[in-house]
Structure 1
């Protein structure tokens, strides 16, 4: 160590043990570096692929419905095909069938009974599916069947509704079991079914956000819950027509015997076609017989509305009511209901 007045510099020497000296590693070769990068990339890709598969499996969505129909703004439950297969015990209990669908009884895991409509066919399948989703997805009313959810996986289309324990009005109104008819569909019950059905149609035509033409009102499409409260069902032919009814419908068709003249004459279609169908149905509720019945022995009753109009005009109202309920029926209610039914189908009044 040296010190000087002219040069104040210090020199310090420190001896360090060899074991404490820092070590410098030799950088890896380029081939090893490439191997590390490749292995890391493969591991990352595998992890991302596995994560994507798990997310897809958990949140797999059905193929989109045709964009020409708006998706419902409600929170309908989206069922898987496996869920509905289990709920219906592999579609074992059949409730009924139509031209393009079969309906099966089912039970959800919480015990709720449902009716599962399995749509079939090709041309009508997607059309009917979209119509029912659009029509029922956004509406709720005491006299309209409740749509709980749907399934759309691949080519499968299913709709899930509340189960109606008393079946359709058709099955009870025209049953051959007269004892059952007297016990179940007495006049009071029939009158309430007629009123409830009318309320459901008023809601569709006047009160819901988008006015709806049902298009196929008939006893087969009036379902009865445990209290025999009516629920309009089968909206496969329903049409959203907006608030001003400015669109002319040309493709919807109802059922023979309930089909309004507008469909045949080519006139603009409005909710009046449902009014006509309701009128024919109302006369059937009153009489317990088909409004158009070519098999009847009395030729004057082939077209029941014309015969009924004559009877009411002549003051013979009792003769138009079902003989099984005539004794306990309120004849004034029968007369009023009969007049309403006839006005519904009279072209000049609609």
Structure 2
């Protein structure tokens, strides 16, 4: 317990320090997100603060893996660290100067492939590789899509990582539990600077890296016990539903779905006059009142996990549609002039 608390403290304090340094660095390099039609903030704000979380995890992951050598092969930890470096480098480059879509996607695929290959060598069939590649790349980009207002992504990752840590603990996986808890602690350190009103944004270096880590820890849980996939998906239900339905809606209407926009539900909640803190609270309420209890129920009753997950996602989709329509009815002029 003392060792675990030590790693959590290291991750939290290390991130606090590095994010403070990142604020000064971003100002010196002119890495400022300016307000605009497709942005939800009102003042120029530095970006790239997610580098603090990345470096904290790169310091902690090898140490945690070394502390529990019999739990997972060190090759899996090394594969995860290598994947994290690749995704973070792509994001860091994009935060400094725009990185084209294809090179960024190639680096993401290479990162997910490297990590997934190490997991598959633990005894899984390589027929699972295409599914892992799709899930990993989607998670990276999903979390990037959902990083659009102050505090939301950091708050979500603290919740999901804490839930994954609990799931790993119930599965008697102390190394994985501590790794996920360390991610929650590091992200909490960043949230201290990113909560509304944000002093710094995460940037692609942070959002993509967090998406990779959430995917990786969920995949490791699935490797231990396939039934744990459903409670892991329940933890991320708010983000998965919002990002997926928004993307499908934009594709259905023939819009350029790959370009920046403000059409996610959390962005509409702000556009209709709400605050960033209020939108964050809406997602937190879902997580605490719906996702968390259902995660416990699915974990304690594995034979009900799949129908519980399906019901939760259906309820989230219905709620998404209801809230989105309410937001659009309040802005009929804006609806007719949405920029594709």
TM-score (normalizing by structure 1): 0.25
Larger fraction in helix = 2
Q: Kindly indicate which of the two structures has a greater share of residues assigned to strand.
A: 1
TM-score, normalising length: structure 2? 0.26
Higher RCO, Cα 8 Å, sep 6+: 2
